[in-house]
Amino acid sequence: MNKLASSSFTLALMVIPLATAFAIEESPLTVFAIGKYANRKTDVAYNNNLNINRKLMISRAEALEITVEGETEDGYDFIIIHDQNKNRVRRLSGTINEKLVVKGDTIYVNFVSDGRTIKDGMVLKIASSSLFSELKSRLTDVTLSVLKEGTGTVYENLSRQLERFKQLQILAQTQPVERIAAQTITELLAVAQAYRQIAAQEETIMNLHQAKLKQMDSLKTETLANLEQVKQEQNKYYKLLSETQAQLNKNHSNVVDQQKELLSIPVYKRILAKLIQQQENWEVLSRYQEQLTLQLQDYSKAVSLLLYFLRINADLYEQTTTVALMQTAQVVELNELTDLSELQKIITRISSKEQDLKTLLEKIQHINFETKETKTN
């Protein structure tokens, strides 16, 4: 074998592994699964003492829509999602059926299990989304946080106490006072204590509401910035369209330039039609955000009123039981206490506002970028 042939053969040996490596290079991950959902070599079996990290991405996506489903050991095994800047977005555990949108083209997923029970596992998928969808998703998260965090447990506890109080009233109407004195005192103290425990959450709940309302203001600023950006894009294409039409109207002999102008005009018009629809959608979202903010503020005031009502009634019930203990033969009539209809009015008002907020969220979710035929002159 001559030197040239030998060199060519050596070069081929060097190139083949490199070419093979490029051939088997995988595209970025868009799915990550654990346990029974695992069917790719990048997935893993659900075992104890795992600490798995994955990077998922869709290059150049404005935002990512993330769906997660499955089951992990509740409170012990976790799926933790971070955005492209390594900020934690969500921490999931237990039975999971979650959908969210995160800004950017990359997320980092961490799966952690402890040293005992395992469950079915989970699958996490990403799809390309838009800044518009991402902002709508954050609006929903902020609103649901106000509705769920804190007040959810308040309602559950309060409904039990209301039922307890109603039963006490029925008992007072059907039994001699002396027979139910001790039980009435015990029940009133229990209700008073429950009311006071609920009312004690006021600072935590109100602080949460204020924090979320500040987030709403921040989201409003983002919406207006995006709206302004769309308007600037419109101005750019209106200018290009106007200049191109002016050039076309000139009597010049350059056929190629005329063809370029003839091709450009319908394209500019279609781009403008899409930008006009985008502007309409951002403006609709902006109006809904205004309504959402006002409704959340009103809802927060109603919750504050409820907690205040419970606190002062806890005082009243405790004073009532003190009098009853001093005069064991008599119990202050329950109908002398604050009328439960007032409490019911507040609760009904809050429930109505919750429904209004959920209805508004549904409207926001149905705003989209479906381009309508728009005339552009």
Decide which of 106, 129, 152 is a domain's last residue.
129
Decide if 50 contacts 87 (C-beta within 8 A). no
With contact defined as beta carbons under 8 Å apart, do 187 and 164 qualify?
yes
| Residue 21 covered by a domain | no
**Residue 9 belongs to a domain:** no
d(CA 13, CA 132): 51
Phi (first) and psi of residue 215, to 5 degrees: -65, -35
pLDDT: which is higher, 94 or 23:
94
Provide DSSP, 347-365.
Answer: HHHHHHHHHHHHHHHHHHH
Tokens coding 238: 């209106």
**Paired tokens of 65:** 């829509």
CA angle at 102 for the pair 100 and 105, rounded to the nearest 5°:
130
Same domain, 219 and 94: no
- Global pTM reads 0.74
Is the CB of residue 77 less than 8 Å from the CB of residue 93? yes
Same domain, 165 and 185: yes
- Output the DSSP codes for 5-65: HHHHHHHHHHHHHHHHHHHTPPPPB-EEEEETT--STT-B---TT-EEEEEEE-TT-SEEE
Q: Among residues 104, 129, 154, which one ends one of the domains?
A: 129
* Residue keyed to tokens 């209106």: 238
- The predicted model gives 320-328 an average pLDDT of 70
**Residue 14 is assigned to a structural domain of this protein:** no
Return the minimum-mean-pLDDT range out of 226-230, 234-238, 248-252, 255-259.
Answer: 248-252
Cα 319 to the center of its chain, rounded Å: 44
208 and 267 in one domain? yes
119 and 186 part of one domain: no
- The residues, ordered by sequence, that sit 6+ positions from 227 with a Cβ below 8 Å of its Cβ are 279, 282, 283, 286
Residue 6 lies in a domain: no
What are the φ and ψ backbone dihedral angles of 331, each rounded to 5 degrees?
A: -125, 130
Say if residue 298 is in the same domain as residue 376: yes
- Does 219 lie in the same domain as 154? yes
Same domain, 115 and 178: no
CA dist., res. 193 & res. 315, Å (int): 9
Q: CB-based contacts of 105: which residues, under 8 Å, 6+ apart?
A: 57, 58, 59, 60, 61, 62, 64, 84
Give residue-wise pLDDT tens across range 176-208.
766 777 777 787 788 888 888 888 888 999 999
20 part of a folded domain: no
Query: Number of structural domains, the chain?
Result: 2
The mean per-residue pLDDT over the stretch 236-247 comes to 92
Same domain, 102 and 174: no
- Please report, rounded to a whole number, the percentage of residues in the chain having pLDDT higher than 70: 82
Query: What residues are paired with 33 via a beta bridge?
Result: 123
Tell me the pLDDT tens digit for each residue of 325-354: 766 555 555 555 656 778 888 888 988 999
Whose structure tokens read 């609006």?
A: 139
Residues 242 and 354 reside in one and the same domain: yes
Q: Give the per-residue pLDDT at 153.
A: 66
- Provide the mean pLDDT of the chain: 83
Asked if residue 4 belongs to a domain, the reply is: no
**CATH code of the domain in which 59 resides:** 2.60.120.290
- The answer on 177 and 57 residing in a single domain is no
Q: Are residues 106 and 242 in the same domain?
A: no
Q: Is residue 302 part of a domain?
A: yes
pLDDT tens, 121-180? Answer: 999 999 999 999 999 999 999 999 898 765 666 667 777 777 777 777 777 677 776 677
Residues 63-77: pLDDT tens digits? 999 999 999 999 999
- Is residue 1 one of the residues assigned to a domain? no
100 neighbors 62 (Cβ within 8 angstroms): no
Collapse the DSSP code of 102 into the 3-class scheme (helix H, G, I; strand E, B; otherwise coil) and give the result.
strand
pLDDT at position 335? 55
Domain enclosing residue 270, as ranges: 131-377
**Domain C-terminal end among 129, 160, 181:** 129
Q: Is residue 341 located within the same domain as residue 193?
A: yes
Tokens of 178: 């002396």
Give the contacts of 257 (CB within 8 A, at least 6 positions apart). Answer: 247
Question: From the CB of residue 127, how many other CB atoms can be counted at a distance below 10 Å?
Answer: 13
Neighbours of 161 (CB within 10 A): 19
Assess contact for 126 and 56: CB atoms under 8 A. Answer: yes
pLDDT at 256: 80
96 forms bridges with which residues in the sheet? 70
pLDDT at 275 over 80: yes
